[in-house]
Structure 1
């Protein structure tokens, strides 16, 4: 199982130098990918520009957009962004797409939250057509730049209905478990296998999961809890606090247990999402992952 690291873009204190410092550190470490996510009404830097900086600053790791919330967006623009990222990191781009769970982001972009699942299906079909070189409308030129390689498209699907829809168009899944729970991850992976088989897909879905973590820093458990509660604040304080109480990857022993469980559950890659911008956290993760190989 490969292990990637996300940028700490959702953590407090993310500053002008954080992107390059972390991207270069991840590329120099025993990791498979550097990733970033998408939120609008939050403190994080924008995903595509951030990944562009990562692509230019790295040479080895995959550049993973995890995940792109497609329903509010224009697919010709997304296709151009994907083409640009692919040119900055030829053959290293991977994309996860989904509907997201934050209505405020939809409202901020002038988009309806209702009907987002069908819109995702439709927009994935449109995006694939554009990436294959089809023009956005009759008489138009194709959207450029053309990709050097079609990126793998994963689905941020979790439940039976969304997984069944994803099985029609995705190359795999990108899940997440705040608790890093092996049973939860295993259920999601088994559901993906089942849905792919029911959809008549001959290939096995690529399986990615992840969790929040904090290592190598003072009061790591407290930092992990505070980060998780802040990130989930859109759910309301009471629920956010309750879920934050399940985040547990704040020691090397627990994180190793989580990684062992994810590997046994059939994950191809596991993404570590840091709860802090402190580079000591990245150093501790690198030491732990190197010791596993």
Structure 2
């Protein structure tokens, strides 16, 4: 989510993460701002890495054609050698991103329910247009990858409990109680939906281990949320402080205590020191 990143930056990160003690690599989706396209970045990651799972976090699904997303994800899965085990889908909250791509912001909740059903049908090999045949390619896993929800509120989590395989819970500062509260809503919704399979618990937070990290973390979060206005951007930027090894380690402890089975750490800079110092921290846990 930073301006000015180059091919060299991405290739260096892909190589270092692939060689490190990491499980997966991720990328988010945003239309406005300096970000590169999530789908293209993850396609590059699929070809440049060999061991990592490739996990979109997340597709703002109602902005897209469900058929196109199903085809993209299956293609990414095949090109990665079967490393797209799960993807995250969500509603998104940036109305101007919807407007920019010509998608309706209203009705997105019901639309995503229908889109998920269509994607699953495509991955099962069912026709979308009668007599037109299947839409390929065939995913490496029968029925396609698992679908996690990036929902945050109780109503949206309850909707997703009907079809999701788990939840991506976000806490910008890696706070245990925030993650626990989100997972508690998830557990309640899964039980009310009569689901008999325990939902997967994924989490995420912002961090940095770069020099002058707190300033860089503040700037990153402020720039990321500037579209919401200076008041919200300032409030959120002032709330994050995972910018030292001890602070990052506590956030990891928080995620583990909250029940996260997987945690995505979102760095505030593209400096390779972020990875080198994080690897040292992980090796000491």
Please state which band the TM-score falls in when normalised by the shorter chain.
over 0.9
State whether residues 154 and 174 of structure 1, in contact with CA within 8 Å, keep that contact through their aligned partners in structure 2: yes
Residue among 150, 164, 176 paired with 1:156: 150
1:290 deviates by 2.0
1:92 partnered with 2:83: yes
Determine helix, strand or coil for the equivalent of 1:175.
Answer: strand
State whether residues 206 and 268 of structure 1, in contact with CA within 8 Å, keep that contact through their aligned partners in structure 2: yes
| TM-score relative to the length of structure 2 | 0.96
Partner of 2:4: 13
2:231 and 2:5 map into 1 onto residues whose CA distance is: 26
1:13 deviates by 3.1
1:177 deviates by 0.7
Unaligned runs of 5+ in 2: none
Partner of 2:259: 266
Q: Does 1 or 2 have the higher relative contact order (CA < 8 Å, sep 6+)?
A: 1
1:254 partnered with 2:273: no
1:114 partnered with 2:106: yes
1:282 partnered with 2:275: yes
Partner of 1:195: 189
1:129 deviates by 0.8
1:134 and 1:90 map into 2 onto residues whose CA distance is: 23
2:52 and 2:256 map into 1 onto residues whose CA distance is: 20
Partner of 2:205: 211
1:53 deviates by 0.8
Determine helix, strand or coil for the equivalent of 1:71.
Answer: helix
How do 1:169-184 and structure 2 match up within 5 A?
169-184=163-178
Partner of 1:221: 214
2:95 and 2:53 map into 1 onto residues whose CA distance is: 30
Determine helix, strand or coil for the equivalent of 2:62.
Answer: coil
Partner of 1:240: 233
1:11 and 1:31 map into 2 onto residues whose CA distance is: 22
CA RMSD of aligned residues (A): 1.0
1:260 and 1:85 map into 2 onto residues whose CA distance is: 32
Render the CA deviation track for 1:33-87: whole Å, top value 9, x for unaligned: 1001111111111111111111111111110100001112111211110111011
1:289 and 1:143 map into 2 onto residues whose CA distance is: 42
Partner of 2:23: 32
| TM-score relative to the length of structure 1 | 0.94
Partner of 1:56: 47
Determine helix, strand or coil for the equivalent of 1:22.
Answer: helix
How do 1:114-133 and structure 2 match up within 5 A?
114-133=106-125
Residue among 29, 33, 36 paired with 1:42: 33
Number of aligned positions between the proteins: 282
1:25 and 1:201 map into 2 onto residues whose CA distance is: 39
1:28 and 1:139 map into 2 onto residues whose CA distance is: 46
1:193 and 1:101 map into 2 onto residues whose CA distance is: 24
1:12 and 1:73 map into 2 onto residues whose CA distance is: 24
Unaligned runs of 5+ in 1: 1-9
Partner of 1:5: none
Partner of 2:74: 83
State whether residues 189 and 267 of structure 1, in contact with CA within 8 Å, keep that contact through their aligned partners in structure 2: no
4+ runs deviating over 2 angstroms: none
Determine helix, strand or coil for the equivalent of 1:233.
Answer: helix
